[in-house]
Amino acid sequence: MDRIVVLDFGGQYSHLIAKRIREVGVYSELLPYNTPADGLGEDVKGIVLSGGPSSVYQKDAPMPDPRIFELGLPILGICYGLQLIAFKLGGRVSKGRKREYGRAELIVKDFSDLFSGLPGRFYCWMSHVDKVTKLPKGFEAIAYTKNSRYAAVRDKVRKIYGVQFHPEVTHTEHGRDIIENFAVRICGCRREWNAGSFIERAVKEIREKVGEDRVLCALSGGVDSTTTAVLVKRAIGDRLFGIFVNHGLMREGEPEEVIEMLKGLGINFRYVDASERFLRRLKGVSDPEEKRRIVGEEFVKVFEEEAKKLGRFKYLAQGTLYPDVIESARSGSFASRIKSHHNVAGLPESLGFELIEPLRELYKDEVREVARELGLPEWFVRRHPFPGPGLAVRIIGEVNEEKLRIVRKASSIVEEELKKAGLYDEVWQAFAFVGEDRAVGVQGDERRYGRIVTIRIVCSEDGMTADWFRIPYEVLERMSNRITNEVEGVTMVTYSVSSKPPSTIEPQ
């Protein structure tokens, strides 16, 4: 299908550019900034150069293959991408007199292509220091702000465009329209990207790859792995066999719910309760990355042991998503590793399976659309994301039975109260976490020294960035009262008001 490539120069919003393009029905993918021009593929209809933290003049500044400007493809440079265009094609980039960050009013001068159908003035989101001070030959300004004479520029003949602001962020008004104009009007892309077309293509690819072989699927009980299983089952039928490992770190009542649902979907699977085994491995371990490693390592061991009992399988299917790939720095870009994801970075090469990861190019909301199209129950599709290492990353310090009991019950209360208030579907994730800290409380006229529980509720579109939820005080009060009254050993409840970045969604 028609495709737009986003070259990633390390910008915090790079992934959002690809996602916004997909939202208008055009397939897009994020590639490393130095991807060779001849390696982009024949189906590419346009190129976007992302923003980034570098200056074009600094030593070792990331630069694209200069041949991309000779391909005859439309190009859109965003922020650093615009500065690259000016720098590489004969313009001039200079240090700004002051940092331009936040909202700025954009005044549009030309409405023929990039700003087609948009008003003459609207607010955009700026985040830069350097700026273009001289345009390359053949370029013209098509929009400006008070501090940026060249806030949007164009070479109409070569179809090369640049904007100093960030149309991909929600703070920019009409940002989606700008991206749609570039993808559809300028690049001429067909709107072929949707859940139905993805399923059709994925099923075909799975059938071609697997042939008559059998496939094992690692089931975690979440939307990602379950959607993967249903997708593979549609492609090869009963030659799919799942292994559902309960590591003892799941939500309250979750193993039973998952077992019932998998049976209803007609998926062949083996259930393994390895709770005690995982807890033994985690005993005495406090380092968050080490906990993630142990959970991933033990999961693989249990999975291998169970797989041997089922006979020979050539392929392993798992629910790896696009953010997993990016955050684990497996995309080939220079993105730093934020956290290891046990279904991406933890699998040893000696595992002996060929991987099938049909969702690895999807964001979470896209997986949900695919799940709906495949007929998964709505209550399951709408359920909040849950980390692969489970409650181990919602427990600061050592994982033990007491903390597990507290965080499991407290998180259940948080979700219940959100649903009662009609707020569950308005947020991305909502849970409680517990650490080593304790506080003195008074319960039944007695002083108690108990655990501190923190409630964490965030809003997000894809899990790559997130903002803390401004929860009504009366709802928060009900959560706090219930947790301190119903969860034994808790004397204080706090609320997390940190966004991602600088924090991550999960506490560990």
- Residues identified as active-site: 79, 166, 168
First to last CA, the chain: 39
Helix runs in 322-455, H state only: 322-327, 364-374, 378-381, 401-420
Please state whether the peptide bond connecting residue 472 to the residue before it is cis, i.e. omega within 30 degrees of 0: no
Edge-to-edge order in the sheet of strand 240-246: 269-273, 240-246, 215-219, 315-317, 354-356
Write the secondary structure of 203-238 as one string of H (helix), E (strand) and C (coil): HHHHHHHHCCCCEEEEECCCHHHHHHHHHHHHHHHH
C-alpha distances (whole Å) from 483 to each of 179, 313, 433, 455, 489 are 45, 46, 12, 10, 10
Give the C-alpha separation, 122 to 178, whole Å.
12
E strand or H helix at 276, and its extent?
Answer: helix 275-282
Is 46 within 8 Å of 187 (Cβ atoms)?
A: yes
HSE, CB side, 13 Å, CA atoms: give it for residue 77: 30
CA proximity to 233, closest of 317, 352, 320: 317
Write the secondary structure of 441-466 as one string of H (helix), E (strand) and C (coil): EEECCEEEEEEEEEEEEEECCCCCCE
Residues ≥6 apart with Cβ < 8 Å to 357: 228, 317, 318, 319, 320
Edge-to-edge order in the sheet of strand 121-134: 27-32, 3-8, 44-49, 75-78, 160-163, 152-155, 140-144, 92-108, 121-134
For 46-110, the DSSP string reads EEEE---S--TTSTT-----GGGGGS---EEEETHHHHHHHHHTT-EEEEEEEEEEEEEEEEES-
CA proximity to 433, closest of 465, 397, 472: 397
CA proximity to 304, closest of 250, 353, 239, 345: 353
- Beta partners for residue 243, in sequence order: 218, 270
Give the C-alpha separation, 72 to 114, whole Å.
18
HSE, CB side, 13 Å, CA atoms: give it for residue 163: 25
For 312-335, the DSSP string reads --SEEE----HHHHHHTT-SSS-P
Give the C-alpha separation, 119 to 320, whole Å.
41
